[in-house]
Each structure stands twice: as C-alpha cells, then as structure tokens.
Structure 1
Amino acid sequence: MLANLRYRTRQVFDAAFGVAATAVALVAIQPERNSQASSETEDRNKATIQASFDAWRAGTGTPYDLLAPDARWTIEGFSIVSKTYPTKEHFTREVVRPFNARMLSPLKPKVRSLYADGDTVIAFFSARGVARDGKPYANTYAWFLEMRGGQIIRASAFFDAIEFNELWTRVAPATGTN
C-alpha cells in the first residue's frame, strides 16, 4: 500500500512539474504577445513573490502574508490536508498554524525558480526545517499563484505528500498554538 501511495504521489508531483514546464515553454514560444503592460505585471508579480520568499527566509514574513482574505488555496494530490480551502483564515487555521506548531525551527525556503505569465507566478522551491521531535523535515514544492493587486487570490500547491503526511502523523502540534 505504501508503495502504491508513493507511486501515486510521484505521479501527481511529476504531473505538476510537467504542467509548469509546459507553461514556461508556451510562454517562451509565443510570438510577440508580451505587451509592455503584461511584462510590467509579470515583473511586478515576480518581484512581490520573491520579496515574500526573502522575508520568509529571513524570518520576517511569508508568502501567506500576501493572501487576500477570500483567497482560495488548493492543496493538490493525496496528502492528509489535500483539498480546497475557501479563505485565508480557513487555510491558515487548518494547515499553516498546525504545521508550524509541529516545527521546532521554522521552514527556510530556497527558491529554485520563479516563472510568471500574466497574473500567474509559479514558485518552485525547496524548504527545510526541524520538527519538534528533533528530526529534519525537507520537501520540494511547486505553487501556482494567481495574483491581483499585489495579493494572491488563488493558489494550487504541489509537494511530496508522503514526506508531509509522515511529519503530520508523527509529530503532535505544540499545545496552545492553534
């Protein structure tokens, strides 16, 4: 069963990166469709996301700070928390806070690539931290972030569900943190 779950998770993860590569390839081969306004939007959105990752790495903020109150965050695949969260509050209450409460040291992200196409930014990154039980946690993520007015209004997140589920079930959240 675990082998089947690993296989299914790998399929979802591979599909996410296939979608990202296709999106980047399509942007690259399109004829001069990139108007100045679109390019400015893409540059601005990428810079906003990069700054949020820089703040996350420095411990002074996170990309979640950019979520609009009614942002829809979908965790794709087969993790314990995979579903669509209809608001920022639902997502932070049900995923972000309980995750952070399982960590001894917070995640530190390392952006591998950022891609932009119009209002969408794709962040491909790795993150590492230490769980409350002293064991390391490391995962690789692909986030598809739809931006409007400097805020994230919709997101689809892909990551290694096996690694996530193992942490989520192994480590209880610190009490009084939710």
Structure 2
Amino acid sequence: MTVQTRQRKRKWTLAPLALCVPLAFGSALSVPAIAVEQTPDSVEVRNRATVTKGFEAWRDGTGSPYDLLDENADWTIVGASLVARTYTGREDFLSNVIRPFGARMASRFVPEIRNLYADGDTVIVHFDAEGTARDGQPYRNSYAWFLTLRNDRIIKATAFFDSIAFNDFWQRVTPTQ
C-alpha cells in the first residue's frame, strides 16, 4: 500500500529574526530572516489515517470504509453502470448498492490500496478489489474514490470503476435473499 499526501507548493514563513545586534562601536549588524517550511495540515493527516484505518478493517474483515459514512452522506457512482447515480443518505447507498453487492458474493470482497492521497478535507483512494461471486467466478475491479470528510465521517463520495465488469457481474449473479 502506498500512502501519499499530494505535494502542494511549498509555503515558507519568514521567522521574525530581522534583529539588529549592536556592535561594540555603536553600529548595528542586520541579521537576515530565516525561512522555515510549514508542515502539512493536520486535517489531511487525520483524514488520511481515518480512511486508511477503514480500508485496513475492510481488508482484515473487521469493518469497512462504509462504517465512516455520515447518515446524510451523498455517494455518487459515475459512469454507465447499472447503479450509476447519486445516492442521498447512507441507507439509500447501502440498501441499493452495498447489500445487494454483498448478496452476490460467495467470499469477501477484499481491497488492496494502490495509492492514497490527501488534500485538505478530500482523500482519494485508488484501489483494486476482488472476491468470488456466488456463481464461482472471480469478480475483480479497480476503483478510484474521492471522499470528502468532516469530523472523521465521509460526507460526500464520488466513485469511479469499470462499468462493463460491474454490469456483467450484477446481471450474471443472482443475489441471495
């Protein structure tokens, strides 16, 4: 797993060291200001850690990033898949996509993060995931999720994935009741 923070333009702050140091002869020597690099925003660090923990729980079978969804979160699936639209609220998304998806799987769908980027309140996760469908065939896909977090909760998500592979799986495999 590669975890990265998007590189921003470096910000420099001049330390207030433009001091005059008196010399023995009554003249002054000007000391130059020192440039100090600012550190990444703590919100980025926290959001990246929150999403990473959710994906690790998903990988280990102890939870999922969906546990981070705010009750009023909007989740948009982009593209031409059979489930592409904006879901309003956690329950709308879980009941129309995640639960029916899980009901089509014979084994856990396990993610592997390729890259994870954080910039302010946004975390981008590029990952692959795979598992075995109820018909015995493997289901694999690659995803890019753009997640907006507030107070350690996902409030907005935009998801991209291979619609052709998804539609084949969704139509081919009947969910359990």
TM-score tier, shorter chain, comes to 0.7 to 0.9
Unaligned runs of 5+ in 2: 13-36
Aligned to 1:119: 121
Residue 161 (1) aligns with residue 140 (2): no
Aligned to 2:99: 97
Residue 73 (1) aligns with residue 52 (2): no
Question: Which amino acid is 1:62 matched to?
Answer: S
Distance 1:81 1:35 in 2: 43
The alignment partner of 1:125 has SS state of strand
Unaligned runs of 5+ in 1: 1-23
From the two aligned structures, give the one with the greater helix fraction.
1
> What is the TM-score when the length of structure 1 is the normalising length?
0.80
1:35–1:154 distance in 2 versus 1, CA, 3 Å? farther
Aligned to 2:11: 32
Number of residue pairs aligned between Structure 1 and Structure 2: 149
Q: Which moved more, 1:111-120 or 1:27-36?
A: 27-36
Shift of 1:32: 1.4
1:127-166 correspondence runs (5 A): 127-166=129-168
The alignment partner of 2:135 has SS state of coil
Larger radius of gyration: 2
Shift of 1:30: 2.1
Distance 2:107 2:172 in 1: 16
Shift of 1:77: 0.7
Shift of 1:29: 4.8
Aligned to 1:6: none
Distance 1:173 1:137 in 2: 14
Question: Which amino acid is 1:30 matched to?
Answer: K
Distance 1:62 1:104 in 2: 18
> What is the TM-score when the length of structure 2 is the normalising length?
0.81
The alignment partner of 1:55 has SS state of helix
Aligned to 2:46: 44
Shift of 1:106: 1.4
4+ runs deviating over 6 angstroms = none
From the two aligned structures, give the one with the greater strand fraction.
2
